[in-house]
Amino acid sequence: MTLHHMSVAELALRLADKSVSSAEITRHLLSRIEAQQGLGAFLQVDAEGATAAALAADQRRAAGDTASLLGIPIAHKDIFVTAGMPTTAGSRILAGYRSPFDATVVARLGAGEAGQPGAGAISLGKLNCDEFAMGSSNENSAYGPVRNPWDRSRVPGGSSGGSAAAVAARLLPAATGTDTGGSIRQPASFTGITGIKPTYGVCSRYGMIAFASSLDQAGPLARSAEDCALLLSAMSGFDARDATSAQRPPQDFAAQMRRPREAASPGKPLAGLRIGLPREFFPDTVAPDVVKAVRHALAELEKLGATLVDVSLPRTELSIPVYYIIAPAEASSNLSRFDGVKFGHRAAVYGDLNDMYKKSRTEGFGAEVKRRIMIGTYVLSHGYYDAYYLQAQKLRRMIADDFQRCFADCDLIAGPVAPSVAWKLGEKGNDPIQTYLADIFTLPASLAGLPGMSLPAGLGAHGMPVGLQLIGNYFAEGQLLHAAHALQQATDWHTQAPAGI
């Protein structure tokens, strides 16, 4: 097998038995990245830094270092700040911005932080994304769209579109992403790869440029549940610099993924697992090819011993207005820091201070970001706060409670990730509402703060990948990864690659 088809786990084995060096893998992937610039996946490639880091990793290994991801090339969504490379969040307002520090997730996956060694992964660069992670197609990046490697006339999903396209095109074995309302799960689904958004609080948000702070979570995108487990183990864990960080001991998700269930028997690793199917996740509006692929994957889970049970999430539809009030409200507050004074772009010509703010923000932000700032400011304004923001918060709690009622009858919840396969670039360009509506199945878990995964479930219309979504209860990442791994041991959807790769 060629190096770029190998998983993180396979590369780690090869590095450990010294049949390949990090320098070799890095050189190979850098040349692929160079040849695939047309995908638009990378905003920055640090060939020099990565090559030096790979050589250093090989030396450390020769000296006996066994850090879990030592010498494995990855890259970060450009929403994580990095000291070594510029960070833009896909926005013109941050063009040329350099952070003085690394985000916690970046440090933990890489070189480590304040006396604590990191996992030793090597960063090849920064990945394109929707501006401030607002979007579902990566068409909202100020630096151009990302193309779907399965069909370059289609979107890769968003907002972690660069991460998903790079992993699907075998430019990287894995990448980081963030998910506020679906931005890991939906691009993973659109590009036929595996992604997990952990429980809110599992990964530190320190150094992750804030969109909607009560929803934002980091997570890995990779080609298997096993690789997601390896990355998540390294990037998660309590961080005193994030006030919402979960106070839990470090987790070995790969070990949790492999631990057999008590009721398991040969050929039935999922015996005793109850998977709930919310009837609201299978409305007539879901494309038939998506339903077919999802049902096929569910049948495979049944063969492995799981039982399917009917459940209900009655407020699924309401998650769209609720999310599109709460997320813009938080965004309008978070994005007020980009004022031309402290970070990034400042207008060249302006009158007084107010005029400077106005011109800098007008020039720096794209249309979708401006729309959300306006909606957010409106719903938080005196007189409308009770009618919109407060109502949305109450409904958010009810949506979270609905999940808990479901989890009385099942262990995991399953359904589609999105109502259709990836759409054509430009197809929904002028109609933001159409794009918002396509988030219907990812928003509920985000609003509840629950962990969710997207797994490849074969191909649908136009030969495009379809994703199966699995949602777990709080901190049930191990259980999610276990079920996903069992499915991937028995099927080969996750090994399918775009033609010619």
List of residues contacting ligand GLN (CB under 6 A): 133-136, 159, 179-183, 211, 327, 439
Alpha carbon distance 110, 338 (integer Å): 28
Active-site residue, selected from the candidate residues 7, 21, 77, 224: 77
Does the active-site annotation cover 159? yes
Nearer to ligand GLN, 182 or 207 (CB): 182
Q: What is the largest CA-CA distance in the chain?
A: 75
Q: What are phi and psi of 99, to 5 degrees?
A: -80, 145
- For strand 452-459 and strand 194-197, is the pairing parallel, antiparallel, or unpaired? antiparallel
Helix, strand or coil, per DSSP, at residue 373? helix
Active-site residue, selected from the candidate residues 136, 137, 159, 204: 159
Alpha carbon distance 133, 89 (integer Å): 7
Nearer to ligand GLN, 135 or 269 (CB): 135
Nearer to ligand GLN, 300 or 439 (CB): 439
Nearer to ligand GLN, 411 or 439 (CB): 439
Residue 195 belongs to what H/E stretch?
strand 194-197
Least distance (Å) between residue 476 CB and ligand GLN: 20
Least distance (Å) between residue 242 CB and ligand GLN: 18
Does the active-site annotation cover 77? yes
Alpha carbon distance 330, 210 (integer Å): 9
Least distance (Å) between residue 215 CB and ligand GLN: 8
Nearer to ligand GLN, 41 or 270 (CB): 41
Nearer to ligand GLN, 128 or 488 (CB): 128
Q: Residue 459: which residues within 8 A CB-CB, separation 6 or more?
A: 192, 293, 465, 466, 496
The DSSP result for 376-416, as a single string, is HHHHHSTTTTIIIIIHHHHHHHHHHHHHHHHTTT-SEEEEE
The per-type count for the chain, helices as H runs and strands as E runs, is: 16, 13
Least distance (Å) between residue 376 CB and ligand GLN: 12
* 188-to-176, 219, 276, 317, 445 alpha-carbon distances in Å: 12, 11, 22, 22, 16
What size, in residues, is the chain? 501
Residues 38-50 as b/e (b if ≥16 CB within 10 A, e otherwise) read ebbbbbbbbeeeb
Least distance (Å) between residue 183 CB and ligand GLN: 3
Least distance (Å) between residue 442 CB and ligand GLN: 7
Does the active-site annotation cover 18? no
Residues assigned a catalytic role: 77, 159, 183
